Structures are given as C-alpha cells and as structure tokens.
Copies of this chain bind each other. A is one copy, B any other.
C-alpha cells in the first residue's frame, strides 16, 4: 500500500532547469524571480500538477505559517457547535488553513489527549470552547506561544481573544417573554453549573425576575450536565413537583430537546399546560410541534469571527486581546402561549 509518491519540488526544478530554491520562490513569491524564469517554472508546475507538501512545509517552518488549526469542541452532537464548525471551516479553508477537529465529548481525559495530539501535529493555533477542568491547559497553550481563540465562553482570569454571545441578555429576553405571557413560575433547566455560559444565563433569568418584581424560587432552578439526558431527567423532576412550574426555560439545545421528550411523554400540552423557551435556535425549530420559541445565537458567525481573530493574531502576535460579544435574537414562535396580562407586544431584539 505504498502511496504513489507525489511530485516534489526537485522534480519541478529538474524539469524546469532551475534549482529548487527558485521553484520555491516562484511559489511563495516573496522574492522576485525573472519573469521569463517564473513563467517557465509555472508551466512545469502546471504540467506536473505539483502541489506543495504541507507536511514538509510545517516541519520546516516553526512559526505561524503551518496553516493548520486545532479545534476543540465539547460535543459535536450539539447542533450549535456544528454551526460553529461550519463557520470556521468555511473561512478557514478560504484562507488555505486546514482544521483538525477534536471532539472530546465533554471528557476531560480525552480533551487532554487531543491537546497533546494537536500539539504534536504542529498546529499553530487553537480554537477552543473551554470546559471545566480545561482552564489550566488552555492557559498553558497561550503561554507556550500558540495563538488561542476561545469561543462560546472565555477563561476566568485569563486574557485571551474571546468570541461569545450576550448570554445574560439572551436569557433575560427569554424569561421576560415568558413573564409577559403571564408566567410567574418559570422553571430553569441549566447546563453544567461550572460553565460561565450557564452562570450568565442564570443571572439573566434572575435579572428578569427582579425586573418584574417576582420572587425567585431556587428550587425550580436545576442543573446537572449540558446534555440530552439531563434535560429529560430534570424536566421530569420539575414537572413532577407538587407545585410544578407553568413554563420552562432551558439553557441549551440538548436540554430543550430532552425537556420536550419529557413534556410529550407526560402528555402535557404546549403551551397550554407548560410553555417553553430554549436557548439556542435550531435549523429545524419549526419542525417541532408546536414550533419552538428560542434564543438564537449564530454559531456560524462565531466561527467566522474566531477565524478572523486568529488570522489577526498570527499576523500580529502583539495585538491586544479582544472580547467580542454578539447579540442574541429571540425568535418568537408558538411554544410560549399568550396568557397576556395588560398591553403586551411580542418582544423583538434588534
């Protein structure tokens, strides 16, 4: 299974009657070569179908010219991350970067393993959605000189480029919407309580309660992990309470879907018996019955900006760190009901 050797610089050089240095120069066009020579070499390159060997390139150039990015994703089953991946991919490959994805499935061991592997692949940059227990490693990466961009959430106490959304406001909007629809007892299914994102969303929930003078019942703010099964179980818990909430605010995609399973399995009607707003909109939120009201955050956009920041940082390592916060948008569909009290307009964030 010897893979056919591909055309090398040397072959091009020989055929064009020049040295490999000249061919290299033609390709990278940093230094000038004589017009005539350049044309001749380019012709040979085309004839032979030469493409530079990225492995050799990476081995040679230690700096940020390796054109390889490591991407650390907590859970590829979450469509939000898939959107991020798509955004990153699209703009990365347009800039001739390749991307290696490490999906660590929320497993600390595996995350560590991926970081090591990606390092030994000589990536010159990382895009990371930091997870609890990851902070040390990510910090190290930055200190070791890798370009690092955090997505979805930053690193407490560490200066890094970050792209995220306004989780506080997004959660606030969602809960406000429910309150305006007449709900006063809103259950909140949170993600992993260690994650900054979760904390900010809980804060948004509390702020909305405060804003409307409602008293918070901490017994109906529940969280375990950020996955589907947690959504199922925690919704079961909340809806089984003697005095169950009339509405649910779920802190992400997967939790929302899990909660929906429970709602349906208990035969509850949405929104009459229980209303629901989820954080994270999905391509197919309209396919749910009833269509889901959700806080949209554009993963695609997050990915795009992350690449942009990475690009800048590789070009200028000294650039000050920035934190980019995108707005969310509340997409009102019909999973909330309209037990209106007083003049009420559908809330729309701009």
Contact = CB atoms under 8 A, between A and B. Distances in A.
Interface of A: 1-6, 51-56, 58-59, 62-64, 76-77, 79, 82, 85-86, 89, 93, 98-101, 103, 105, 110, 113-114, 116-117, 119-122, 124, 144-147, 228, 257-258, 260-261, 264-265, 270, 283-284, 286-291, 313-314, 317
A119 B6 contact: yes
The 5 closest A-B pairs by CB, nearest first: A1-B317, A289-B289, A260-B287, A257-B284, A3-B145
Contacts of A260: 284, 287-289
Contacts of A86: 76-77, 103, 105
Copies of this subunit = 2
Contacts of A52: 120
A55 B122 contact: yes
A56 to B, nearest CB: 6
Contacts of A289: 260, 264, 270, 288-290
A98 B82 contact: no
A282 to B, nearest CB: 9
A238 to B, nearest CB: 16
Contact of A286 (B85, B264, B290, B291): B264
A264 B291 contact: yes
A54 B101 contact: no
Contacts of A313: 1
Contact of A1 (B6, B64, B290): B64
A76 B113 CA distance: 24
Contacts of A4: 144-145
B51 A119 contact: yes
Contacts of A93: 110, 113-114, 117
A171 B105 CA distance: 32
A291 B250 CA distance: 20
A89 B77 CA distance: 13
Which residue, of A1, A291, A314, has the highest number of chain B Cβ atoms within 10 A? A1
Given A51-B120, A257-B287, A258-B284, 17 more contacts: A1-B63, A1-B64, A1-B146, A4-B144, A52-B120, A54-B120, A55-B122, A56-B59, A76-B82, A85-B103, A86-B103, A86-B105, A93-B110, A260-B287, A261-B287, A264-B290, A270-B289
Contacts of A288: 260, 264, 287-289
Contacts of A105: 86
A145 B287 contact: no
A99 to B, nearest CB: 8
A52 B58 CA distance: 15
A58 to B, nearest CB: 5
A312 to B, nearest CB: 11
18 contacts: A1-B64, A1-B314, A3-B62, A3-B63, A3-B64, A53-B120, A54-B120, A55-B120, A86-B103, A98-B100, A100-B101, A101-B101, A260-B284, A260-B287, A260-B289, A261-B284, A270-B289, A287-B288
A228 B284 CA distance: 8
A284 to B, nearest CB: 4
